[in-house]
């Protein structure tokens, strides 16, 4: 029995083969490397998977870690796929569901990529991971690095959610704040890694295994629906790893014969203040161009130029999906309305997808009969400032007004 059926890495541009059992960055073309598996070696059945513990490691044959003893886990994965009857009815999409990634360790789906990426880095002998981040990825990688006994060097914009600084500090990471955007943080990390031995640059899509961890969101959606696909999946897209990964997951499941038929239409959702992928989609281009002054409250998707933009556009186009931008005003309104309808406080990035569902229903792109899954990529608790609070404070002898 092989724990991992990992075969090799493949360049996402020219398909060239690269060794998966040494530390790798991007391909010689500077493109992301994608993990490929020997699917003939995957003899596990769907029923056997169902009997495994409810973490993302239940799909270990399709993950890159070779030695079970090297798995670094905080219990991540198998998040709920929630029905949203009240909110779905309000939007005219009764088949609306939410995959709630607010429940993973560190409160954002970044934990999936970190669990698998850190496990594999440690297995391959890396001593320290180094990365730029908009906050949540750094917090997650810092947590899993601590769990694995690795060093973590993190650089993030000063504007990143403050809680993520604290998460990095409490888990012992070496943290730097950068007066700029994630790209500026990336340049500093690149420089630092060149000077430090044993450190790996784990920037988005510059190491091959983060995407493998995120892929498990796609496996879980299919498994939770009884090995069936929804019609549409919406994903808040920054660097695009999650949407590329879900697409990759579904292709692997189809090749295994575990799902059949059409893949879901994949929708890349961005904030109007930073929507390079939407612009490229609308213009019929294969690559994006960074906007001049990117800004949105949905900080996790403030990525002006994603290394994997061409892969996101391919995932969207190949599945008959679309790319759509929503304003901060619309996404904040969606965040409030969803919390009132269903009792769940989602992150602004997740909220952007609910605003997008409303827009797509209005435009007729959704006709209301579809099974629709929204990825809520994190908990609203990470972004307390998105909800201003103005409530009366009662003095000791104050009274609560009678509303009876």
Q: Which residues of the shown chain bind ligand PLP in the complex (CB under 6 A)?
A: 108, 110, 136-137, 204, 236-242, 300-301, 347, 349, 377-378
Nearer to ligand PLP, 44 or 269 (CB): 269
What's the min distance (Å) between Cβ of 404 and ligand PLP?
Answer: 41
Q: What is the nearest approach in angstroms of ligand PLP to the Cβ of residue 126?
A: 21
CB of 275 to ligand PLP, least distance (A): 13
Chain residue at closest Cβ approach to ligand PLP: 300
DSSP code at position 401: P
Structural element, H or E, at residue 275: none
Whether residue 234 contacts residue 353, with contact meaning beta carbons closer than 8 Å, is answered with yes
Whose Cβ is closer to ligand PLP: residue 60's or residue 210's? 210
Tell me the two tokens of residue 83.
């029905």
Query: Given the complex with ligand PLP, which of 44 and 115 has the nearer CB atom?
Result: 115
Q: Which is nearer to ligand PLP, 145 or 346 (CB)?
A: 346
Bridge partners (DSSP) of residue 151 are 128
Shortest Cβ distance from residue 205 to ligand PLP (Å)? 9
Q: How far is the CB of 138 from ligand PLP (least distance, A)?
A: 10
**Choice between 27 and 203, CB closer to ligand PLP:** 203
How far apart are CB 178 and ligand PLP at their closest, in Å? 17
Phi, psi (degrees; rounded to nearest 5) at 289: -125, 135
Q: What's the min distance (Å) between Cβ of 164 and ligand PLP?
A: 9
Q: How far is the CB of 384 from ligand PLP (least distance, A)?
A: 14
DSSP reduced 3-state for 94: coil
Closest contact distance (angstroms) between CB of 19 and ligand PLP is 26
Q: Between residues 186 and 242, which has the closer beta carbon with respect to ligand PLP?
A: 242
3-class secondary structure, 19: coil
Q: Which is nearer to ligand PLP, 128 or 161 (CB)?
A: 161
Provide, rounded to whole angstroms, the least separation between the CB of residue 106 and ligand PLP.
10
What are the angstrom distances between the C-alpha of 366 and each of 41, 248, 267, 355, 361? 39, 24, 11, 13, 5
Nearer to ligand PLP, 20 or 135 (CB): 135
């Amino acid at each position: 029995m092989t724990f991992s059926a990992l075969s090799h890495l493949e360049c996402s541009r020219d398909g060239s083969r690269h060794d998966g059992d040494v530390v790798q960055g991007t391909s010689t073309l500077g493109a992301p490397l994608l993990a490929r598996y020997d699917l003939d070696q995957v003899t596990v059945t769907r029923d056997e998977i169902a009997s495994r513990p409810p973490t993302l490691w239940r799909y270990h044959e399709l993950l890159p870690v070779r030695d079970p003893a090297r798995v670094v886990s905080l219990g991540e994965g198998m998040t709920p796929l929630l029905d949203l009857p009240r909110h779905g009815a309000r939007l005219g999409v009764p088949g609306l569901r939410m995959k709630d990634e607010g429940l993973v360790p560190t409160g954002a789906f970044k934990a999936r990529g970190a669990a698998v990426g850190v496990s594999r880095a440690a297995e391959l002998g890396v001593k320290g991971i180094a990365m730029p981040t908009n906050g949540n990825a750094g917090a997650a990688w810092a947590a899993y690095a601590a769990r694995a006994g690795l060093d973590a060097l993190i650089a993030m914009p000063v504007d990143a959610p403050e809680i993520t600084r604290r998460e990095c500090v409490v888990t012992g990471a070496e943290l730097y704040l950068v007066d700029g955007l994630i790209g500026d943080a990336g340049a500093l990390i690149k420089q630092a890694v060149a000077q430090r031995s044993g450190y790996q640059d784990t920037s988005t899509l510059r190491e091959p295994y983060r995407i493998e961890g995120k892929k498990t969101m796609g496996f879980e959606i299919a498994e939770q629906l009884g090995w069936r696909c929804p019609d549409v999946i919406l994903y808040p897209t920054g660097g695009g790893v999650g949407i590329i990964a879900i697409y990759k997951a579904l292709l692997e499941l189809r090749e295994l014969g575990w799902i059949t038929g059409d893949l879901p239409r994949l929708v890349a959702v961005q904030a109007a203040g930073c929507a390079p992928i939407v612009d490229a989609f609308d213009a019929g281009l294969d690559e994006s161009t960074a906007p001049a002054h990117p800004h949105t409250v949905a900080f996790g998707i403030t990525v002006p130029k994603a290394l994997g933009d061409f892969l996101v556009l391919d995932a969207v186009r190949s599945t008959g999906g679309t790319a759509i931008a929503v304003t901060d005003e619309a996404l904040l309104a969606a965040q409030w309305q969803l919390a009132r309808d269903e009792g769940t406080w989602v992150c602004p990035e997740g909220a952007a997808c609910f605003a997008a569902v409303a827009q797509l229903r209005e435009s007729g792109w959704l006709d209301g009969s579809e099974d629709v899954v929204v990825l809520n990529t994190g908990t609203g608790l990470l972004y307390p400032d998105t909800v201003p609070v103005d409530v009366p404070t009662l003095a000791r002898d104050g009274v609560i007004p009678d509303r009876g």
